[in-house]
Chains A and B, each alone.
Chain A
Amino acid sequence: MADLGPTWQAQLAQALIAARIEIAVWVPDKRLAPIADALAGGGLRMRTLTREEECVGYAAGFRAAGGFPLVMFQSSGLGNSLNALGSLAVPYGLGFPLVISMRGTLGEENPSQVPLGRTTARMLELLGIQALNVRDPEDISAVVAGAVALARGARQVAAITLDGQLGKS
């Protein structure tokens, strides 16, 4: 079948740029890489950091200084970031959109990815962070706009979880 339009990753990047994100900090992931490329192609500043917790700390500082950052990492990295979310971003009201590439669920073949993947939504919920799932590319613009409003206006960390159904790459 012919390629009739932008990939879901390109759509997501376009929605984030349209929402006036100022910078994206991330830890690389195969499914996030095309999003990062599209963000960079759209002129957004990108920072690849050493650990997911560091991304949350960086974003909290950037937000406290008056900016509006984006964080992206894989679900397996959520465990690395819990303390920074729970004792900095959440209690200080330093909200930002957090794009999480889901592993460990639909189609996962690596046993080591499963425990953190299947508990990602519940871990976020226990911290008071809403997980807004994207399963269908048609939902991207509405979910991104809603998550950005939640992060910018209501000062919440707003997680956008990228469902396995979107594809493995």
Chain B
Amino acid sequence: MNATEAVRAVLNAEPNALFVASLGTATSALRAASEDGPHLYMGGSMGSALAAALGVAEKRPDRPVVAIVGDGELLMGAGSLWSLAGIRPRNLLVVVLTDGFYTITGGQPLGVPPIFADVAKALGIDAGIAQSGAEIGERARALARPALLEIRYDDRVWPGPSPFVDPSVVRWRFEARVSGDLSPDGRTASSSEGSG
């Protein structure tokens, strides 16, 4: 399994969620898997993606929210796991793309144990590990929110789309997605979802 296949499985399990993606692999994979859907892609701010997802989730408790974060990204903002455990938003799923490397900077190893699900469980957050598309779908649906799903993958092929997004375009499309003017595929108006 590669990162794009992993994210595609998450999208299939949460087709109507608001997505936040950390810089690098997570953003490139979400762009590839969603055909550049109207999601909140981070072009920088490493370590802040989970914090941003907490903000989205608390502003829109009526909507499912998914944070797609890299493993290196989560280490840099690991304190946000404690905030997640303290705030406990009932609509947030955190997906950790775990391959053990800092891909965006050239593939340096993280050099830490890959125990994101265990750490989340210790904090009282429902958590699991998935290593295939089927496991991702099953666990993403079964875990009680807030939840953390550690996805382990070993095919480290680069997803493709550039992670250097245009911030103003990303913001405008995400705001339109939140307000219901854009559907998950970013193409058509969707009046039924954003009215809550």
Contacts and interface: CB of A to CB of B under 8 A. Distances in A.
A92 to B, nearest CB: 4
A50 B54 CA distance: 13
Interface string A20-63: 00110100000000000000000000010111011111111111
A99 B92 CA distance: 28
Most chain B CB within 10 A, of A58, A62, A65, A69, is at: A65
A22 B83 CA distance: 19
Interface in B50-90: 50-60, 77, 79-80, 82-83, 87
B60 A57 contact: no
Interface in A69-104: 69, 83-84, 86-88, 91-94
Binding site secondary structure of chain B? helix
Contacts of B179: 66
Contacts, number: 117
B186 interface: no
Contacts of A67: 55, 59
Given A54-B79, A69-B55, A91-B43, A64 B48 contact: no
B interface, size bucket:
35 or more
B49 interface: yes
Interface of B: 18, 20, 40, 42-60, 77, 79-80, 82-83, 87, 167-168, 170-171, 174-175, 178-179
Interface of A: 22-23, 25, 47, 49-51, 53-67, 69, 83-84, 86-88, 91-94
